[in-house]
Structure 1
């Protein structure tokens, strides 16, 4: 079993990407030697997340932006190059460093040692068995370095969503031309998107983003307002997540039942439009916008809610939610979830058992499902129990960590 893994991320640590932190934690617990490589500056603020502090993850982290490692002063650049040549004189990287001085091939980049310091980036991967890259665009600079490092190295690239929507087949040509790269995606929906970019389906595995279900345990309800049906929406306030549509759904539900409330947690460009709609329609008493909150605060709000509403849409750029980890977090807190039928949301729940799937933008359809849950409190709680069981069995970090190791070994 390979024991040395280089994890490549856009920035580190990113608290909004706790699933990456938890994945790293699982690998370390499983005996892997982990190196964390960030394409942007590593954040030196330690302790913002328990995993970062408890596992001393900053000790494993480096920046791989070659410009950050190339001295601005030319003399220092030369001295640094001589030092690196001596250091790697007995490794496969040495001959490639020498080739970087080829003026006929690289021109000015060879003369000013730019090509040398680009080539030197291979040093970060030289002792790895597996390179696991999060977000596909981060893998592109690594492809030219593969011949300079361990010939048996394997490259695993994880698509997360926008990296499949925003870039073309031509953009990913270096990846497509390599036959040693495997891929993971979080849902069948994203798998189809990646395959449409011409990535070979036999090398694309489905590996959802997971969570620590022990940290999302409802326990006792924490002070629900008696007689009020609490609906909650959590997510960045952007068009594809449809927070304004969530408000309109509750607005319609209130016209029929008069005992519901919507809590919206999140920030984003749609915040002002949501506030303006609330004020214009006098919805201040039935919709609360809480902005961004800590994870503990979010869990408290979830524990005081009856159902999670996520009516995502296909936005003007053709994008939609690829997975929506918050859907699994809500289910782990024993909430039925109601989601739309676009993107990958429907793959992260069981329609009719842990919640409902409704046609995109069908306000009356969402209202009908909410009314049914209001009228059937016992079924609502039964769905919540089933929802937690579903997430524990399929989305817990340990379950998905074992699947990741299977992918590494295959």
Structure 2
């Protein structure tokens, strides 16, 4: 019996900040599924923070890109070549006849998807990457089950106008997708507001590889007089709120605590944050690590005490949908101290983390201070953090939840 096949579709692959997609693909491979990755833009291996995994599982070799001739005469010739295939010709005429319009580029897409039209599942990461798949399902060309996973920005709208635009964009997708998943109840409500039926929706938290994110020293503890190691991981953009972590560190230093804060990530606000660190005279207390590979991030987690989850509502009104980094950090035995934002509260328990109002740096610093002073509580939180992730964010459970009943 041949293995079940999953076609992963995303707009661009690989991307450093989308480690969860690579993890999903690898976990599927390890479960015995036959995997193909489809994307519009195939990036270099250096664009990923998981180069070792990409090489080990030969993921770039499994990646297929939709290519169309750029010159007009070549497009015409290739189009006529596509029509020589009876299945392509049949569905092309059927679609054009039913819609009263002749779209020549549909031929290229039918040709592109032809070898995969009977795969068991098409799994789209980020709804905006679904593109023509609902149309291919509607016309009967695509025989596969269609699974779509929203991650956050693809369900974000600022006002009623943008909400209506997304409703129109996703109406066919919601109709022909077999299952739609979101990572938290917070995101579920966003997708419901766009017109998706609750009966098609499932909450599947993004999971982590518990074997990879496994601490050597566990549970952790804070030794009296030891420099407290804080860490945040995320793109250096407004949404991630790194500025408030830095300002909280300033309060701790001012109170006489020995603290060091490592920020892992790259982004447009990097120079602005470096200037802030300089102006606050925190050069000896804050370090910008850069992008960081998964191995390097794991090593920083291993040597840290507390994870600062400083995500906030940004200027556009967008908030964190889940935040996989909290699961990674807790898997490494790190308690979470952060802001109550978006889906973040669903990623921790009262035994594993403390959340305060967004941008409240005084409360953020005070709760870090409480853990410094109470090693017994800290050790218990560290122990519970690993247990919490094992029970709620195991990537094997995520894979089962994605595909159970449709594959």
TM over 0.5: yes
- Using a 3 Å threshold, how does the CA distance of structure 1 residues 357 and 400 change in structure 2: closer, same or farther? same
- Which residue matches 2:55? 53
The 5 A counterparts of 1:187-206 are: 187-206=184-203
Which residue of the partner structure matches residue 123 of structure 2?
132
The answer to whether the 8 Å contact 2:16/2:47 transfers is no
The residue that corresponds to 2:406 in the other structure is 408
Show the counterpart of 2:293.
294
| Partner Cα distance (1:77, 1:260) in 2 | 61
Q: Does residue 214 in structure 1 map to residue 211 in structure 2?
A: yes
SS at match of 1:298: helix
In 2, the alpha carbon distance for the partners of 1:168 and 1:44 equals 36
1:384 to partner: Cα distance: 0.8
Shift of 1:306: 1.2
Q: Which residue of 1 aligns with 2:374?
A: 376
1:390 is matched with which residue? 388
Q: Do 1:246 and 1:309's aligned partners in 2 also have CA atoms closer than 8 Å?
A: yes
Is contact 2:326–2:347 with CA below 8 Å preserved after alignment?
A: yes
Tell me, yes or no, if structure 1 residue 324 matches structure 2 residue 323. yes
Any conservation in 1 of the 2:334–2:385 contact (CA below 8 Å)? yes
What is the correspondence of 1:1-80 to structure 2 with a 5 Å cutoff?
A: 3-41=4-42, 43=44, 49-64=51-66, 68-70=67-69, 72-74=71-73, 76-80=74-78
Distance between the aligned counterparts of 1:408 and 1:163, measured in 2?
A: 23
CA distance in 1 between counterparts of 2:258 and 2:96 reads 74
Within 1, Cα distance between the matches of 2:68 and 2:142? 25
Q: Encode CA deviations 1:222-252: one digit per residue, 9 max, x unaligned.
A: 9x99522221122111112111111111111
SS at match of 1:7: strand
Contact 2:209 2:394 in 1 (8 A): yes
Seen in structure 2, the aligned counterparts of structure 1 residues 5 and 313 have a Cα distance that, compared at 3 Å, is: same
The RMSD of aligned alpha carbons is: 2.9
CA separation of 1:38/1:120 partners in 2, compared to 1, >3 Å: closer, same or farther?
Answer: same
1:164 corresponds in structure 2 to 155
Per-residue CA distance 1:88-116 (angstroms, 9 max, x = gap): 32x3x3312345787x9436x5xxx4443
Post-superposition CA distance 1:370-407 (Å, at most 9, x none): 11100011221221111011112221221211212225
Contact map agreement 2:7 2:119 (CA 8 A) in 1: yes
Q: Does 1:180 align with 2:155?
A: no
Tell me the TM-score normalized by structure 1: 0.87
Equivalent in the alignment of 2:263: 264
Q: Distance in 2 between matches of 1:256 and 1:77?
A: 68
Deviation of 1:6 (Å): 1.7
Segments of 5+ residues of structure 2 without an aligned counterpart are none
- Determine helix, strand or coil for the equivalent of 2:181: strand
What is the CA distance between 1:176 and its match in structure 2? 2.0
Contact 2:136 2:142 in 1 (8 A): no
| CA deviation after TM superposition for structure 1 residue 186, in Å | 0.9
Normalized against structure 2, the TM-score is what?
0.87
Deviations 1:245-281 (A, max 9, x none): 1111111122223322222222212222222222112
- Residues 1:169 and 1:31: Cα distance change in structure 2 (over 3 Å): farther
Report the Cα distance in structure 2 between the residues aligned to 1:124 and 1:170, rounded to whole angstroms: 33
> 1:128-148: CA deviations, max 9, x gaps?
232211111111322222244
For structure 1, which runs of at least 5 residues remain unmatched after alignment?
A: none
